[in-house]
Structure formats: C-alpha cells, structure tokens
Amino acid sequence: MNGETDGWQRLDRRMLLVNPVQEFMKLLPALLGLLVAGTAIGVRGWQLLALVVPVVLGTVRYLTTRYRVADGRVELRRGLLSRRTLAVPVDRVRTVDLTAPPVHRLLGLVTVRIGTGTASSREEDSLDLDGLPVAAARTLRAALLRAGEPADGHRPDDDLLRPDPDRAVRTVLRLDPAWARYAPLTGTGLVLLATVVGGGLQLATTLGIELRLHADDLPGTSLPVAGWLVVLIGLVVTLLVVSALSVAAYLLTSWDLVLSHRPGAWHLVRGLLTTRETTLDDDRVAGAVLHEPLGLRLAGAAHLSAIVTGLDRSRAGSATLVPPAPAAVAAGVGGEVVGTPQPLDVALRTHGPAATRRRWARALGPAVLLAALGVVATLTLPVGIWGVVLAVLALPVAAGLAHDRTRSLGHALVAGHLVARSGSLARSREVLATRHVIGWTLRDTVVQRRAGLVTLTATTAGGDQAVTVPDVPLEAALRLADDAVPGLVSQFLAVPERLPDPPSTRD
C-alpha cells in the first residue's frame, strides 16, 4: 500500500489489474452494442473502446480511492468529479467479511466488507475495501473487532494492530461434504434451474430460434400412454438437473467450511472458487435462528444463522453459520452460539384455541375456494378430470398444513433467552437473548383483535433484526414481555398487575 498522506492509504496497486476487468464486465453489454452498431454502419475503431474505456475507468477508480483508520473511525474516500467520503466509528462495526473471488485469489488480494448496520442499501454507501493483501486485511479485521472490546485501561494503538497468538481458538464445526445431499431439499436448485431456463429462452428469442413443441413432434402421441411417458421422463430429468445444480451450488459456497471461536469473536471460513471469511463480534451476536423448512425437516435436517444486532437484512448472508446439515448438528452449534442448549430443545408454550382456529381458518378458507373453482371448471370447461383432482387434493393438503402450523406455533422464556417458533413450509425457531431486547411492539389486525390475539415483536439495537411471536393471547404477550425485560411494558399498562401463568404444553 502506497501513497500515504495524513494517514490516507491507497488500495494495493495490483488492483490496477483487477479494476479494468471489473469495469469491462460492467460495460460488456454496452460495448457489445457499440461493436454491433459500428459493424453494421461500417465504422471501424469501436473495438478499441472495449480495451481503452475499462482501463481508463479502472485506473481512475484506483487513483481516486483511499481509506484510513484513525481517531476511532474507518474512513473511505472515493470518486473524481463527485467525491464521497464514508466514515464509521469503529465501535459501530458489527461484522467484517473477507471475500476473495478467483481473480483476487490469484493475485493474493481480498475484499474487506465492513458491516455497520447502516439502513442504506445503496451500493455506493457500502464500506468495502477492494482490495487489500490477505495479511493486511486480517490485521485490519483484528484491529476493528478488538478496538470495540471494553477495556479497563488504555490500550495503545499499536497493540490493536498486533496479532494475539495466545488467544485460544476452538473449532466448533467442520463441513462434512456428505451434507450436500440435503441441498436438493432447499429452493436453491429450483432458482438456478429457472435462471438457466429463462436465460436460455431469452437467448433463443434474441437469436430468432422458435422453441415450440407440437403434438406431432412426439412419437406415438396418438396413444395416451406415450404422452404420459414423455411427461414422466421430463419430470425425472428436471428433478436430476435441479438436484445436480443444488449440490453444485452447496459445494461451491460451503466447501471447506470451518466455524471457530476465539475469545471475543466467531470466525467462519468457506467457499471453493470464491473464499469468504466472516468474523462476528461476540457482543453483536444476540442469538440464533434454527431454520427448518419442510423439505429439510422431513429429512431430519436444518440450517442455522446468527442474529446480529445492527446487521441489515441485505447482509443476511453474513450471519449464516451452518448450511443445511443434520438437525442435531445445527442445534448443537446453536447451543454453542447462545451459550446454552436449553433454548434449542425446550418445550414451547402453545397459544391456545383461538390461535389454533385462526390457523385452520387461514388454511381452509383458500382451499375451499380453490376446490369450488375446480368443481365449477369441471362442469363448465373442457378440463377433464383435472378440476376434480384439484378439488379433491386441496382440502386434505390445507388440513395437513394447518395441523403442522398449529404444532409449530409456540414460545418460551428460558435461561435468559426469548424463544419463538412458527411456520410450516418455512418453519424457524428464533432464540434472542433478553439483554439485547430494547423494545416491544404489539400489533393486531381486526380479526386478531376479535379473537384476543396480538403479534408480539422484540426489537434489538440497530438494523432491522427482530424476533416475532405471532398470534399470542394478549395477556400472555404482556406477561412474556414483562418477564423478559421487567418493568419495560408494565409501566404503560393501566393496571400493571401480574397475570396468572398460562398452561404449559409440550410440543
């Protein structure tokens, strides 16, 4: 790093090789358009723009970007005509990510992404140092996270930048590649398949290729069996493609994953082509979320993320700790993160008959309407038996969904942690340390109000992370909030008397 002035430093000069490549990829569609247009009208020289413009923009970007860590702040200055300076107090740093795409890895560089909990989601407001040498980036990460630690006395500035080899590192989790078998049970493969198919169809349309399947194109379509066989083969092929894409994406993002803890911070390393190191300050980790979507739950699996105070949802990937893995593994890591296994396996209190009726009504209402539409379609439209099949399947599927949502709903307060669980297709158990609760929100709709239910939300400091307890009786919600943070809610009640404990039911 060179060019130091008043503490301001430039990024590594090897970014003069990386920046033009990045600018070229950004300008590729426009450059291709200019190339095609120039060729069509017989103008030469457009090809030079594909080389000159990215090099110029990349060089200007490097020369006009500086950063420094001074006076308790991280500052980033960039821009030529419109100069922007971002400054963040060190004690506002929530996470530090080190990301190394393939080009960066080849040159020994990383991108340092500093998570500060800012509400802005604009890319120009992000505090990213792209790029620094690996050793310098790790030293900076240690300095930023350790600078926010409380200290009894003065800590010299040079001590912040000195690695501390004596601090014990404890490995909590290592990835088992066999866990990739759970990847097809998530939505990743389907999203990738839709992206590939959509891109292929758009490319075919651009090239003027007609993609249509006529009945005559299928051999033996005069026989119903042949048509069903083609559909069945298509479904099997689609399933295999989705599974392969899911497994590939899982291994690319989670390869060689290691989750470790040292006094003061959690550290996560993962990635095959693009490596990523995420460090979470202990003081910012307020809890954990055990995600149990239906597909993973049926296979006895789950994945885990951390609740990090001040981390906006656009950086949710920074809080992922355990990818899809056996449920016992994810829950065990969750217990390590929150400091006790009790919140991850405690029996939850049910929310009573009113909440149960609400779940059944919300599930069966649309199902009854869908079944009625299926019957009407069968009687009035040439849809064959499909309308009847739709009507027959809608009600039992809805009933199963309502039953599962009822069983999943519950909450608890144990070992200084608020626990809330809800959902069916995307069920999750959220665990939040009550010391991180800074406020409560009670919200009800007209239907909830008539049933005596409210939605209770515990908010944390900074960002928009919160834990929500849906459809809980009003009295139970008030008692839960008062027990979790004594005196915070009762002072606003007209009659702040303590209510009897609701009955406890094991899930």
Name the amino acid, one letter, at 156: P
Q: Which residues contact 117 (CB under 8 A, 6 or more apart)?
A: 92, 94, 309, 310, 311, 312, 462, 463
Q: For 144-161, what is the mean pLDDT? A: 45
pLDDT at residue 161 is higher than 50: no
Per-residue pLDDT tens digits for 65-99: 999 888 888 888 888 777 888 888 887 777 788 89
pTM of the model: 0.78
pLDDT at site 165: 45
Q: Which residues contact 334 (CB under 8 A, 6 or more apart)?
A: 288, 290, 304, 322, 341, 343, 344, 431
Per-residue pLDDT tens digits for 321-346: 999 999 999 999 999 999 999 999 99
Q: Where are the alpha helices (DSSP H) in 110-187?
A: 134-147, 157-160
> Are 252 and 272 within 8 A, CB to CB?
yes
Confidence of residue 282 (pLDDT cuts 50, 70, 90): confident
pLDDT at site 33: 67
Higher model confidence: residue 36 or residue 304? 304
Higher model confidence: residue 92 or residue 199? 92
Q: Please report, for the chain, the start and end positions of each structural domain, with discontinuous segments joined by +.
A: 5-159, 178-254, 352-492
Most trustworthy range by pLDDT among 105-109, 177-181, 185-189: 177-181
pLDDT at residue 232 is higher than 70: yes
Least confident segment among 61-75, 242-256, 302-316 = 302-316
> Are 466 and 455 within 8 A, CB to CB?
no
Residue 279 bridge partners (DSSP):
96, 267
pLDDT at site 226: 62
Q: For 30-42, what is the mean pLDDT? A: 63
Q: Which helix (H) or strand (E) holds 73?
A: strand 73-78
pLDDT at residue 214 is higher than 60: no
CA distance 54 to 24: 5
Q: For 204-218, what is the mean pLDDT? A: 56
pLDDT at residue 500 is higher than 70: no
pLDDT at residue 272 is higher than 60: yes
**Crossing angle of the two packed helices 386-408 and 352-380, in degrees rounded to 10:** 170
For all residues of the chain together, what is the average pLDDT?
80
CA distance 124 to 171: 36
pLDDT at residue 463 is higher than 80: no
Confidence of residue 35 (pLDDT cuts 50, 70, 90): low
What percent of the chain shows pLDDT beyond 70? 75
Residue 117 phi, psi dihedral angles, 5° rounding: 80, 15
> Are 14 and 107 within 8 A, CB to CB?
yes
